[in-house]
Amino acid sequence: MKIYFAGSIRSGRQDVTIYSALITHLRSYGQVLSDFVGDPAITDKGRVEFTHQEIYDYDSGLVRQADALVADISTPSIGVGYEIGLAESRNIPIMALYREGTSAHASPMVLGNSNIQSRSYQTLDEAFAHLETFFSILTKQ
């Protein structure tokens, strides 16, 4: 299974260690196409070696290849929202995770969308349990 992981880059990298842990866990379900999101070397300036067009082409191409998209929406990000919308338009299953207490920042457009499995978590173990449920349902389909 090919999995696209979406998380904030230019909107803030304060969650990069969480992203890295989620990406490591996601590898137990398949190939993570967007490992770079969990790379601590990437700052909130993004991947400056690429043009905006190159980033769009590359990232949207990866979303189009994905069998599932998992997003951490604890830190609001226009790019993550765009990737979620792109995945939804292609009928790609979506799991949106957000840390307990950050739901005031999570978009109602995501939380209220019945096509997106949105789940809150306080610990990584809780996030991992949500992912286990999400992927067990996907593999049964």
CATH code, 29: 3.40.50.450
Give the Cα separation of 18 and 64 in Å (integer): 24
Residue 114 structure tokens: 């019945």
Rounded to the nearest angstrom, the gap between the alpha carbon of residue 129 and the centroid of all alpha carbons in its chain is 16
Which residues constitute the domain of residue 107?
Answer: 2-140
| Threshold 0.85, pTM exceeds | yes
What is the number of structural domains in the chain? 1
Give the Cα separation of 33 and 87 in Å (integer): 14
pLDDT in tens for each of the 141 residues of the chain? Answer: 999 999 998 888 899 999 999 999 999 999 999 999 998 888 777 777 889 999 999 999 999 999 999 999 999 899 999 999 999 999 999 999 999 776 567 888 999 999 999 999 999 999 999 999 999 999 887
